[in-house]
Amino acid sequence: MDVRVVDQEHDLLRVEFPRGEETLLIPLVEALQAEEKVVEARYFLGHPYLDRPTLLVRTKGEKPQQVLKRVLKDLADLYGDLLTDFEKKADKVKA
């Protein structure tokens, strides 16, 4: 995935995602907003043909890169567990 860091400061991170990947931003922003150190987490879609979806994360007391890495790992674990559970149950049901 072609992710670009557009802006990076001590408490702010702005990351662009490839077009067509904006559905990933919804659970990511929800998980970021649940974090205690996150002051602001939102995404911008812009023009569908000209702009890339952009994630903005602003934190207090922790680097936004660290928070984003932690949340991405948690989401990967969550969805990985969901896939494993589904595969186990799907194997039991034969159509």
Whether 18 contacts 2, CB under 8 Å:
yes
C-alpha span between 28 and 48 (Å, rounded): 20
H helices of the chain, in order, are 25-33, 64-92
CATH superfamily of 4-92: RNA polymerase, RBP11-like subunit (3.30.1360.10)
Q: Residue 95 has what pLDDT?
A: 54
Question: What are the pLDDT tens digits along the chain (95 aa)?
Answer: 788 898 898 999 999 988 877 788 999 999 999 999 999 999 999 888 888 999 999 999 999 999 999 999 999 988 888 888 888 877 776 65
Q: Residue 36 has what pLDDT?
A: 94
Residue 14 β-bridge partners: 7, 56
Q: Which residues contact 92 (CB under 8 A, 6 or more apart)?
A: none
